Structure 1
C-alpha cells in the first residue's frame, strides 16, 4: 500500500481572504488534468481530501470516484494577507514548531497534532489499499516527516508544484 499525498492545483489568490478560503485557479486546471492522465496516481484507491475549496476542487478534477472530506487534513492555519517573506516564515515555523511564525498562524505542532492521528486512522482502516489524500504543501511536508521519522524536507517543500504528488510507500511509514 502506498500513500499518495497530492498538493492542490494553483490557487486563485485573494489577499483579502485567508488562504483556506481560496478556490482553484481555472488557469491551472490543465496542470491538474495533466496529473490525472500522467499515471502517477493509482487507478484504484481510497480518496480523501482537505475541506479547503482548492483541495476539493483539485480532487474533483482528479477522480470520478467518491472523496471523503476530512477536516483534519486542512493546511497549516494562517491569517489572511500575503507576506513578502512567506517562504522564510514557513521555514521559521519548521524551525520553531511550538511557536506561531507570524501573527494569526497556527504553530506547526498543533497542525501535526490534528493531522497525524487522522491520517493514521485512515491508513488503519484501509490496510492494504492505496490511499490518495489531496491537500497542502506545508501539511504534507510535516506529515511525511512525522510518518517517516525524518526531518522535514524543506527543499522538497520549496520545489513542490501545483499540483504535485509525494509518494510514501508503506515500508517508509
Structure 2
C-alpha cells in the first residue's frame, strides 16, 4: 500500500508554550491550505496524525478537503525533547546534530534516536494495517521522526544529512512517498509545493544516489 508522510510547515514559535502545543504560523497555514487546494490527496485516503497541535492542524486542513477526519496517535509524535524544552536556534541545531550522530545516546535527556525510530516505525506499521484497503495512507507528522522513518525505509544509517532541513524546505512542510511492505521510498523530502500527483500516487523507487542529490524524485 502506498503512503505519504508529510511534515507540518512553519510554526508559531513561543518559548512560553510547550513545543507540542505550538500551532502553525500564518505562513505555515497558507502553505498547508495551498497544498490541500491542489487536491493531490484522493477521496478515500486514510489520514493519520501525531497528536501534537501543529500536526493536527495540518491534518485538519487536508481532511476538510477530502472529507476525512484524522486518526490521532501520540506514538507518531516528534522525538521527546521535554528534558530541555524550548532551546534557542543555535543550541537546538547543535543538540539535534548530536541526536542524529549518536542514536544510542540520550542527548541532554532527549529520547534516543534509536528509540524514536522504533516508535515511529511501529506506529506507522499499525496504521497501515488498520487502513486497508484505502487507496493511500497519509501521515501528518514531524521532521526528526520522519527522517528516522525514512532512514528505516531506505535501509540507511541514522544521519542528520537525511533530515528535511538538509534536503527539503528547511522551514518544514515537506513529504516523501513510500511503500512500507516493500520498504521502498518513491521520493526523498520534497516541499509541499513540489509534490505532484505522480509522486503521490505512483513512481519508481529511489536509488541512494538520487537521495544524496536533494529533493528531486525519479
TM-score (norm 1): 0.87
Q: Is 1:90 equivalent to 2:96 in the alignment?
A: yes
For residue 144 of structure 1, the aligned residue among 143, 150, 156 is 150
Matched position secondary structure for 1:63: helix
1:157 and 2:164 equivalent?
Answer: yes
Say which SS state the counterpart of residue 98 (structure 1) adopts. coil
Q: How much has 1:152 moved relative to structure 2?
A: 4.0
CA distance in 2 between partners of 1:14 and 1:146 (Å): 32
- CA separation of 1:145/1:16 partners in 2, compared to 1, >3 Å: closer, same or farther? same
Greater mean deviation of Cα atoms: 22-31 or 55-64: 22-31
The CA RMSD measured in Å over matched residues stands at: 2.1
Alignment of 1:117 with 2:122, yes or no, is yes
Matching residue of 1:12: 12
Residue number in structure 2 paired with 1:54 = 54
Structure showing greater Rg: 2
- Point out which structure has higher relative CO (alpha carbons under 8 A, 6+ apart): 1
Distance in 1 between residues matched to 2:132 and 2:157, nearest whole Å: 26
Q: Taking structure 1 as reference, are residues 151 and 43 closer, same or farther at Cα in structure 2, changes over 3 Å only?
A: farther
Structure 1 residue corresponding to 2:80, chosen from 69, 77, 82: 77
User: Residue 14 of structure 2 aligns to a residue in which SS?
Assistant: coil
Partner Cα distance (2:44, 2:100) in 1: 34
Runs ≥4 residues deviating over 6 A: none
Change (3 A) 1:165 1:39: farther
Shift of 1:100: 2.2
Gaps of 5+ in 1: none
Farther off after superposition, 82-91 or 9-18: 82-91
Q: Structure 2-normalised TM-score? A: 0.71
Structure 2 residues not aligned, in runs of 5+: 186-218
Give, in whole Å, the separation in 2 of the partners of 1:38 and 1:87.
Answer: 33
